[in-house]
Amino acid sequence: MASSAACIFCKIIKGDIPSFKLFENDKVLAFLDIQPLSRGHALVIPKYHGSKLTEIPDEDLSAILPVAKKIAAATGASDYNILQNNGAAAHQVVEHVHFHVIPKPNATEGLGIGWPAQSTDMDKLKALHEELKSKM
């Protein structure tokens, strides 16, 4: 199991830093976020240490979403976001992969989202489609 001595979330996994744990199994830990955007804001993390999504083995990633689903249901929220940031420019602060479960009870609490949609056209989309498909 990959882990990093300097990583704050690896310390939480080991119990060296306390947390309000909501769920734990051999691959996943979930706990309350210490600076919540709304009531019930929680983090679901793989026990495998990696900074970005692309570094985490599929079997560890597969174990994450069912836990996020349980937490979302437990909060009772009808509206919520699942958020996973990769890299500082994408608002990642803690460099251990984590999925946020963020209830959205109203317009002011929870996640605020900017959505700067760009214009494109069918030719550009077609070329991009070919490129990405060829690399998958």
7 near ligand 5GP, judged by CB under 6 A? no
Choose the catalytic residue: 96, 98, 100, 129.
98
State yes or no: is 98 an active-site residue.
yes
Q: Does 51 bind ligand 5GP (CB under 6 A)?
A: no
Torsion sign (Cα): 74, 75, 81, 84: negative
Q: Does 47 bind Zn ion (CB under 5 A)?
A: no
Candidate list 88, 89, 93, 117; residue touching ligand 5GP; CB under 6 A:
93
**CA distance to 82, 100, 111, per residue, from 38 (Å):** 13, 11, 8
Q: What are phi and psi of 108, to 5 degrees?
A: -100, -25
The residue among 91 and 133 lying less far from ligand 5GP, judged by its C-beta, is 91
When asked if residue 48 is in the footprint of ligand 5GP (CB under 6 A), the reply is: no
Q: Which of 3, 4, 19, 81 binds ligand 5GP (CB under 6 A)?
A: 19
**Taking CB within 5 to 8 Å according to partner kind, which of Zn ion, ligand 5GP, none is near residue 7?**
Zn ion
Reported as type and span, the H/E element at residue 69 is helix 64-75
H or E element that contains 31: strand 28-32
Distance of alpha carbon 131 from alpha carbon 133, whole angstroms: 6
User: In the complex, which residues of this chain contact ligand 5GP (CB under 6 A)?
Assistant: 8, 17, 19, 31-35, 43, 85, 91-94
